[in-house]
Amino acid sequence: MGKFLIGIDAGSTSSKVVIFDTNGNIVSEAATPSMRFEKRRDDFEEFDIAELWSLASVTIKEAITKGGINPTDIAGIGVTSFGNGVTFLGKNGEVIAPGCFSQDHRADDIIAMYKKDGTYEKISNIVKGEPFAGEPGPILRWYKEHERDVYDKIGGVLTFKDYIMYQLTGVFATDMNCFGGSFMIDMETMDYSKELLDLYGIPEMWDALPKLAEATEIVGTVTAEAAAITGLAEGTPVVGGMMDILACLVGSGATGDEVYTAVAGSWCINETHSDKIVPGLSSNMPYLYKGQYLNCSYTGASGSNYEWFTRALAGTAKMEADDRRVSFYQVLDELIESVPVEKAKVFFSPFVAQPSIHVNAKANFFNIELDTSYAEICHSVAEGVAFIHKYHIDILRNAGFPVKVLRLTGGTARSKAWNQIFADVLQLPIEGVDCEETGALGSAIAAGIGAGVYKSYEEAFEKAVKIKDPVLPNESTFAAYEERYKEWTRLNEVMTAYWDEK
């Protein structure tokens, strides 16, 4: 039996290849650079499909080489990525157009059309969620309406991770969770639906849909061609995998009752699981087990707000970090912690990306004046991100899902300062995982189950998932944060009138 498992976490900023031992320890890892195109239009968020595989294949080989690993010791490979967005290929598997990230919102007019003619409600009833512009159905309809020459060439529709799986195995497949969460299957039948494609207005795509697989199902093995490029052993099993939000839940072992998972990454993801479909949630997607659902409430920006902030406005912190020879993230954490919530005045609306609480929502700072400090601005960004997570977590709570603890994943989960703000805003213990690549670990666990390394998810969690001591909420901050959250909410309500006019 193999000694190692590979988890590939293909993200919108970069893709990471992480090699784990069977106890969940990282043996080696490597990452691709960003492959985001310059925008052709403000509402386009695209990537080069061919470059995706070129970079991923090199990165797989780099991780194997860095770890000094015999490829025959790799028991299996799992791939995860963001859901939604779309990658489509020609009739012979050739690249015919750029791929679209899930933040792409060229299809806003398509969603508006669905809502106007009553189609939206019918689609929502089938997929058990709230469709938005950055999903395969609306994007494909946009191509049909606006670039018909490309649309007519489409021979296969995949999500981001599925394209990597296709290049590894030559098999055209996806998984139930990712395609279901991308609103491409009927959640009642857990299968494709011609009625759904008719409602999207893309019935021609029926024959372009990939094979549906379970997360731990072996969909294929590494081909000789892929082995030569990546350094993998020919015949290495590749499983169906899952969307990154479920992979983070699996990688943090958050399958227990009254446990929520929050992913503070590019997206603001908040999720739990149950045996019921709840109308009005962002999605109720396929879960790990039949008859259960991943109940989600989300928008398209969480840690991406911090990414923007550190790129555009973190010069002061970077200069201090250089002077002190420390990480500028450490300096930012210190600045965030230096602001008592009772004295905070500045608010931040964390809407740097779509989909958001309004189709025209944008990020804003409020209440800045002459004596506003840089520390207050830093604090407002962290607080604003925690507030948008509270907004969604309250939706789940109000839907009847009890919660006693939150497992926080994503880049900001590494910060003690951010963990404390989340704990205080949500009034919940915040647990972290002793693994910085939680999504990759989740996909590696799925590969391990498929390859027979683990008998079950429960055995995998016991061996491979290590939970840190919780960050406990500070009760003395509750009243101040509750009052600030009410004011933050009022600001968004006021801005809605402005957004409506855009």
Residue of 383, 305, 316 lying closest to 346 (CA atoms): 383
Residue 1 has pLDDT above 80, yes or no: no
| Interval 430-439 mean pLDDT | 94
pLDDT digits (tens, 9 = 90+) for 343-368: 999 999 999 988 899 989 999 999 99
Omega cis (within 30) before 355: yes
Cβ atoms < 10 Å from Cβ of 311:
9
pLDDT digits (tens, 9 = 90+) for 133-185: 999 999 999 999 999 999 999 999 999 999 999 999 999 999 999 999 999 99
Alpha helices in 349-437 (DSSP H): 374-398, 416-426
In contact, 300 and 101? CB cutoff 8 Å? no
Q: Would you state the pLDDT for residue 502?
A: 79
**What is the number of residues in the chain?**
502
Backbone angles phi, psi at 66, to 5 degrees: -60, -35
In contact, 324 and 331? CB cutoff 8 Å? yes
What is the overall mean pLDDT for the chain? 94
What is the reported pTM? 0.93
Q: Would you state the pLDDT for residue 11?
A: 83
β-partners of residue 238 are 77, 220
Write out the two tokens for 233.
């052993």
pLDDT digits (tens, 9 = 90+) for 153-162: 999 999 999 9
Residue 42 has pLDDT above 90, yes or no: no
pLDDT digits (tens, 9 = 90+) for 14-36: 889 999 999 999 999 999 876 66
pLDDT digits (tens, 9 = 90+) for 468-488: 999 999 999 999 999 999 999
Task: Report, in this order, helix, strand and coil percent for the chain, each rounded to 5.
Answer: 45, 20, 35
What is the SS3 assignment for 270?
Answer: strand
- Separation of alpha carbons 99 and 357, rounded Å: 25
pLDDT-based confidence at residue 377 (cuts at 50, 70, 90):
very high
59-76: burial string, b at 16+ Cβ within 10 Å, e else: bbbbbbeebebebeebbb
